[in-house]
Amino acid sequence: MSHWNYGEFTDAVRKLTDIDLSAYNERQMKRRIDAFLSRSKHQNYNGFYNALVENHELRDKFINFLTINVTEFFRNPPQWEKLKQEIIPKLLELPQPLRVWSSACSTGEEPYSMAMLLNQFMDLKSIRILATDIDEAALVKARKGVYDKKTVKNLSKEQIAKYFDEDEENYYIKDELKACVHFKKLNLLVDPFPVNYHLILCRNVMIYFTQEAKERLYRRFYSSLLQGGVLFIGNTEQIINPGQYGFVSQKSFFYTKR
Ligand SMILES: C[S@@+](CC[C@H](N)C(=O)[O-])C[C@H]1O[C@@H](n2cnc3c(N)ncnc32)[C@H](O)[C@@H]1O
């Protein structure tokens, strides 16, 4: 049997895991996958695929590797400042209760940051944030809400005291803050989207997708927003010609549904 090429491998992986690698930037993804293959001592895609079928642990490791979970609390602080000063006050003028969706939430830092920010405008009890990701392992960590002390550089002393318990090594999200966030698995490329949101965060995941996948996602996010709702994206992900999707660029990285 001849060896598979990258396309044949990604087809097989899609059937096995529901992850459609052909919607991710090929050059970037292929380089990462090839590095993973050689690290796990596989010579070709066929052999590696067979190992993925048989070895669940390897499969989970591979998915985890593909989905690149890097994140932090209040990532890119100036954007969160804009959110607080300019975006949230406008969203609070729309029909309430405020609905927020963190759509590639990784290990939870982003939706928990959102809950802390919203707490400056309302009671914790009134805050409901939907937080989704494709990566089950990341969601397990997010639900636990345990963070290494070295990883919380953007949090103030006051925020830490108010929202976390701590021991020598870790900070633990308090139950009251945890209760604001509902975590759920959702694959942005295949699953149906929830609707009627005031604010959708989709940050630092689009960069991995092809142009076609991005365009489809912008349209789907548009449909999931209320009129006047806002899409908040990552620092390297400006939408080119947002008008074609019905968005108005408000400040960099914030797009309002007309
Ligand atoms: C770099 S993290 C970004 C986390 C956070 N939004 C931030 O900006 O810090 C990218 C996340 O996108 C998730 N992801 C990748 N492909 C996805 C897909 N098809 N559907 C949903 N989430 C996906 C990964 O699992 C990962 O947790």
Q: Determine the average pLDDT of the residues in 12-39.
A: 91
Q: Determine the average pLDDT of the residues in 80-84.
A: 97
Instruction: Evaluate: CB of 82 within 6 angstroms of ligand 1.
Output: no
pLDDT of residue 1: 63
The residue nearest atom 15 of ligand 1, judged by CA position, is 67
Instruction: Evaluate: CB of 119 within 6 angstroms of ligand 1.
Output: no
> How high is the mean pLDDT of the chain?
94
Instruction: Evaluate: CB of 63 within 6 angstroms of ligand 1.
Output: no
- Superfamily grouping for domain 77-257: Vaccinia Virus protein VP39 (3.40.50.150)
Query: For ligand 1, what atom is nearest to the CA of residue 138?
Result: 27
| Confidence band of 236 (pLDDT split at 50, 70, 90) | confident
Instruction: Evaluate: CB of 204 within 6 angstroms of ligand 1.
Output: yes
Rounded to the nearest angstrom, the distance between the alpha carbon of 107 and the centre of ligand 1 is 9
Query: For ligand 1, what atom is nearest to the CA of residue 71?
Result: 9
Q: What is the 3-state secondary structure (H, E, C) of the chain?
A: CCCCCHHHHHHHHHHHHCCCHHHECHHHHHHHHHHHHHHCCCCCHHHHHHHHHHCHHHHHHHHHHHCCCCCCCCCCHHHHHHHHHHHHHHHCCCCCCCCEEECCCCCCHHHHHHHHHHCCCCCHHHCCEEEEECCHHHHHHHHHCEEEHHHCCCCCHHHHHHHEEECCCEEEECHHHHCCEEEEECCCCCCCCCCCEEEEEECCCHHHECHHHHHHHHHHHHHHEEEEEEEEECCCCCCCCHHHHCEEEEECCEEEEC
The residue nearest atom 27 of ligand 1, judged by CA position, is 106
pLDDT, tens only, 118-130? 999 999 999 999 9
The residue nearest atom 10 of ligand 1, judged by CA position, is 205
Per-residue pLDDT at 230 exceeds 80: yes
Rounded to the nearest angstrom, the distance between the alpha carbon of 134 and the centre of ligand 1 is 7
The residue nearest atom 23 of ligand 1, judged by CA position, is 134
Instruction: Evaluate: CB of 10 within 6 angstroms of ligand 1.
Output: no
Instruction: Evaluate: CB of 67 within 6 angstroms of ligand 1.
Output: yes
Instruction: Evaluate: CB of 69 within 6 angstroms of ligand 1.
Output: yes
pLDDT, tens only, 125-152? 999 999 999 999 999 999 999 999 888 8
Q: Determine the average pLDDT of the residues in 214-235.
A: 97
pLDDT, tens only, 163-181? 999 999 999 999 999 999 9
pLDDT, tens only, 83-98? 999 999 999 999 999 9
Task: Report domain extents, the chain.
Answer: 6-66, 77-257
Instruction: Evaluate: CB of 203 within 6 angstroms of ligand 1.
Output: yes
What's the predicted TM-score (pTM) here?
A: 0.91
